[in-house]
C-alpha cells in the first residue's frame, strides 16, 4: 500500500496535464495508467516495423496555448508545425478544393465565385463565436447547485462571469451563437454556400466523431468545436506534432515527472475505494492499494461510474443517468505504411496538398447517406475518409522514401446489429477504406505495405473509449458545458467527496486540449487549500 495526496486514473494527456499542475503546486501525485505506454488516445507507436504514427488522435490544433506555455512543453521536446496546406477535398467529377492560408479563396472561386465572395464573412462569424468558446475553455462552466450555501454563492458569481462574457456579444452574434449550438451544420451551410466542396469542408468538421447526419440538430456545435484551436498563434489552423501526437503526451509526462509526479504504467485501476461517502484511493488490477486524499479520473465517466466505482456507493438517480450517458462516435481508424506517396487524379504528383487533411466526402448528401447506411447496415459502401500523410512534414516517422498515413473514417456503426461483431468485419471494412482512396489516387492500394486497423470495438478495448467514442461522450447539448458530465457535476467534482473528473468527459469535452486536466487541477487545489490552508 502507498499513500499520496492525489491519485489520477489514466495517463492520457488530460491526466498528465492535471498531474503536472498539481505536482507543480506541491501536491504528491501518482498517475496510474492501465496501458504500457502513456498518452491514451494521444500516442505514437510503431505499428509496422520501421513505421511509426499517431495511433488514434492524429492532428493538433485544440491544444491550449496557456497549457503549452505553463508546462513548458517546448522545453520537454514538443515542436508543432503547420501543414503547408490545410485541407484538400476531392469530388468524383475530378474537381477539388485546396484550402489554407492564401489559397482557399482562389481555389473556391473556380468552383463558385459567389461562395468565394461569401467565405470571409462566414469565417468571420464562426471565428467570433469560436473566440467565445476560447474564453470558456479554461473556465469551469456554471454549475447547478441546490440550496443557498457557499457553493450556490460561488456558482452565482461564476454564472455572472459567464453572462458577462456573453454580454460582450452583439445581438446578431448572440443569434449566431444560438444557431451554432442548436441548428444543423447542413442547414447553416446550405443557407450560405452553393458549392458542394466548401460545404463538405465545414460539414466534415460537424460529423467528425459525431455519429449523426450533418443535417442533425446540434451538428453545428461539433463544427464549432473543431474551430476553436490554433497552431503557433494562428487561429483555426491544424498542424502536426513532430514525432506524432505521442510527443505531446511525452512532453506532458516529462513536465509532470519534473514537477515531482510519479507516473506508473501497466497499473490499471480495478476499483475506486469509497469509505463513508468519501473516496479514499484505488485498488489496482494487481491488488495493490493506493490511498489518497483525492482521486481524479480521466476515463470516460460511464466507465468510471459503471465499472470502477462500487455501484452501492452511488445514488440510484445518478447511476441511472450516467448509464444513459451517450457514447459512440462511429469512427474507424487505420494507419498505413506506404512504399510511395499517393498521386491524386485531381492534382497528380507531389505538392503541398499532400501535407493537408485530404477529405473524401464530396457533399453533405454523401455524408448523410453514409450515416443512414451505417445505421442500417453497419457501414456505407461509399465511406467518408480523411487521409493525412504526416511523414510529408516529419521524416522521423518512416524509412527514407517511404511514408505513413492516417486514415480517419467516419460513420461506421459503433456496434454492429444482428449479433455481428467488428472482429469479423474489420478486414473487409479496411479493404473498402483503402479501395475508396484508390478510386481518387489509383495505385494507392498497391502502395500499402502494412496496416493497423482500429474498429470502434478496438478503440474501446485498447483505449477504454466506450463505443469507440473519441470524445468520452457525444458533444450533444445535453452533454455539454454545465451538463458535462451531468448537471450538478460540471465543476469537476464527482458525486462522492474527494472524487474529481479530469478527462474529456468533463468540460470542454474531447480533443487534445489539456483543458479538462487544467481546470480539474484548479478545483482540486482550491478544495485542498480550503481543507488544509
Ligand atoms: C481515433 C481518434 C482520432 C482522434 N483524432 C483527434 C485529433 O486528430 N485531434 C484531436 O485534438 N483530438 C482527436 N481525438 C480526440 C482526442 O484524442 C481525445 O478526446 C483525447 O485524447 C482524450 O484525452 P483524455 O486524456 O481525456 O483521455 P484518454 O486519452 O482516453 O486517456 C484516458 C486514459 O485512461 C486509461 N485508462 C482507462 N481505463 C483505466 C483504468 N481502469 N485504470 C487506469 N487507466 C485507465 C486509458 O488507457 C487512457 O490512457 C481523436 C480520438 C480518437 C480515438
Quickly count: other Cβ atoms within 10 Å of residue 532's Cβ: 8
d(CA 191, CA 186): 9
Q: In the numeric block, which cell numbers belong to residue 208? A: 467528425
Its pTM surpasses 0.85: yes
Length of the chain: 533
pLDDT the model gives residue 530: 93
Quick one: which atom of ligand 1 is closest to the CA of 284?
A: 42
When pLDDT is cut at 50, 70 and 90, the band that residue 519 belongs to is very high
pLDDT the model gives residue 145: 79
Cβ(98)–Cβ(355) below 8 Å? no
Residue to mutate, 61, 511, 514, 516, ligand 1, most ligand atoms under 8 Å from C-beta: 511
d(CA 81, CA 9): 31
Share of the chain above pLDDT 90, in %: 93
Ligand 1 center from residue 356 Cα (angstroms): 23
d(CA 496, CA 313): 8
Q: What is the pLDDT of residues 180-214, one digit of tens each?
A: 999 999 999 999 999 999 999 999 999 999 999 99
Quick one: which atom of ligand 1 is closest to the CA of 16?
A: 25
pLDDT the model gives residue 430: 98
Q: Average of pLDDT values for 261-267? A: 98
Phi-psi region of 274 (alpha: psi -120 to 50; beta: other; left: phi over 0): beta
Indicate the angle between helix axes 113-137 and 104-111, nearest 10 degrees. Answer: 140
Quickly count: other Cβ atoms within 10 Å of residue 119's Cβ: 21
Query: Which protein residue's CA is at the shortest distance from atom 48 of ligand 1?
Result: 40
Query: Which protein residue's CA is at the shortest distance from atom 1 of ligand 1?
Result: 56
Cβ(205)–Cβ(226) below 8 Å? yes
pLDDT the model gives residue 188: 98
Q: What is the pLDDT of residues 103-149, one digit of tens each?
A: 999 999 999 999 999 999 999 999 999 998 899 999 999 988 787 77
d(CA 31, CA 21): 13
Instruction: Name residues contacting ligand 1 (CB within 6 A).
Output: 9-15, 32-35, 40-42, 56-59, 62, 268-269, 298-299, 308, 331, 333, 459, 463-465, 470-472, 503-504, 510-512
Q: What is the pLDDT of residues 440-449, one digit of tens each?
A: 999 999 999 9
463 has pLDDT over 90: yes
Q: What is the pLDDT of residues 327-360, one digit of tens each?
A: 989 999 999 999 999 999 999 999 999 999 999 9
d(CA 285, CA 267): 7
1 has pLDDT over 60: no
Rg (CA), the chain: 23
Ligand 1 center from residue 250 Cα (angstroms): 14
For residue 241, the cross-strand partners are: 80
pLDDT the model gives residue 9: 98
d(CA 171, CA 163): 14
Share of the chain above pLDDT 70, in %: 100
pLDDT the model gives residue 339: 98
165 has pLDDT over 90: no
pLDDT the model gives residue 163: 82
179 has pLDDT over 60: yes
Query: Which protein residue's CA is at the shortest distance from atom 14 of ligand 1?
Result: 57
Q: What is the pLDDT of residues 308-333, one digit of tens each?
A: 999 999 999 999 999 999 998 999 99
* pLDDT, mean over the chain: 96
Quick one: which atom of ligand 1 is closest to the CA of 39?
A: 49
Amino acid at each position: 500500500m502507498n499513500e499520496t495526496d492525489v491519485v489520477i486514473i489514466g495517463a492520457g494527456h488530460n491526466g498528465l496535464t492535471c498531474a503536472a499542475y498539481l505536482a507543480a503546486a506541491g501536491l504528491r501525485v501518482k498517475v496510474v495508467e492501465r496501458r504500457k505506454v502513456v498518452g491514451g488516445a494521444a500516442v505514437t507507436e510503431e505499428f509496422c516495423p520501421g513505421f511509426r504514427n499517431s495511433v488514434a488522435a492524429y492532428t493538433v490544433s485544440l491544444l491550449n496555448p496557456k497549457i503549452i506555455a505553463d508546462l513548458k512543453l517546448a522545453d520537454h521536446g514538443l515542436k508543432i508545425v503547420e501543414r503547408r496546406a490545410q485541407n484538400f477535398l476531392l469530388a468524383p467529377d475530378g474537381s477539388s478544393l485546396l484550402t489554407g492560408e492564401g489559397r482557399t479563396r482562389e481555389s473556391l472561386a473556380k468552383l463558385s465565385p459567389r461562395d468565394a465572395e461569401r467565405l470571409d464573412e462566414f469565417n468571420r462569424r464562426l471565428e467570433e463565436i469560436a473566440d467565445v468558446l476560447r474564453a470558456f475553455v479554461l473556465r469551469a462552466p456554471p454549475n447547478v447547485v441546490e440550496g443557498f450555501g457557499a457553493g450556490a454563492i460561488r456558482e452565482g458569481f461564476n454564472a455572472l462571469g459567464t453572462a458577462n462574457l456573453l454580454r460582450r456579444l452583439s445581438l446578431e452574434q448572440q443569434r449566431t451563437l444560438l444557431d451554432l449550438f442548436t441548428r444543423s451544420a447542413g442547414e447553416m451551410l446550405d443557407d450560405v454556400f452553393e458549392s458542394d466542396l466548401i460545404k463538405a469542408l465545414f460539414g466534415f468538421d460537424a460529423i467528425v466523431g459525431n455519429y449523426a447526419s450533418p443535417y442533425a440538430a446540434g451538428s453545428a456545435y461539433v463544427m464549432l468545436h473543431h474551430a476553436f484551436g490554433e497552431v503557433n498563434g494562428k487561429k483555426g489552423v491544424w498542424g502536426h506534432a513532430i514525432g506524432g501526437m505521442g510527443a505531446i503526451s511525452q512532453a506532458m509526462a516529462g513536465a509532470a515527472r519534473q514537477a515531482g509526479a510519479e507516473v506508473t504504467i501497466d497499473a490499471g485501476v480495478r476499483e475506486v475505494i469509497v469509505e463513508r461517502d468519501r473516496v479514499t484511493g484505488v485498488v489496482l488490477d494487481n491488488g495493490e492499494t493506493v490511498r489518497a486524499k483525492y482521486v481524479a479520473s480521466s476515463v470516460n465517466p460511464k466507465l468510471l461510474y459503471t465499472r470502477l466505482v462500487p455501484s452501492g456507493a452511488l445514488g440510484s438517480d445518478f447511476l441511472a443517468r450516467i448509464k444513459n450517458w451517450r457514447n459512440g462516435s462511429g469512427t474507424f481508424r487505420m494507419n498505413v505504411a506506404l512504399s510511395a506517396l499517393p498521386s491524386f487524379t485531381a492534382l497528380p504528383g507531389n505538392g503541398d496538398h499532400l501535407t493537408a487533411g485530404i477529405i473524401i466526402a464530396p457533399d453533405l448528401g454523401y455524408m448523410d447517406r453514409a450515416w443512414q447506411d451505417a445505421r442500417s447496415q453497419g457501414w456505407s459502401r461509399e465511406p467518408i475518409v480523411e487521409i493525412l500523410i504526416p511523414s510529408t512534414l516529419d521524416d522521423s516517422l518512416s524509412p527514407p522514401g517511404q511514408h505513413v498515413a492516417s486514415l480517419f473514417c467516419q460513420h461506421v456503426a459503433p456496434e454492429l446489429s444482428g449479433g455481428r461483431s467488428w472482429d469479423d468485419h474489420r478486414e473487409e471494412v479496411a479493404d473498402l477504406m483503402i479501395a475508396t482512396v484508390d478510386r481518387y489516387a489509383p495505385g494507392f492500394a498497391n502502395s500499402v505495405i502494412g496496416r493497423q486497423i482500429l474498429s470502434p470495438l478496438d478503440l474501446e478495448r485498447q483505449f477504454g473509449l466506450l463505443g469507440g467514442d473519441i470524445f468520452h461522450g457525444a458533444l450533444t447539448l445535453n452533454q455539454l458545458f454545465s451538463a458535462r458530465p451531468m448537471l450538478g457535476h460540471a465543476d469537476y467534482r464527482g458525486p462522492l467527496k474527494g472524487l474529481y473528473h479530469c478527462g474529456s468527459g468533463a468540460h470542454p469535452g474531447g480533443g487534445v486540449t489539456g483543458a479538462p486536466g487544467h481546470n480539474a487541477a484548479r478545483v482540486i487545489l482550491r478544495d485542498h487549500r480550503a481543507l488544509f490552508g
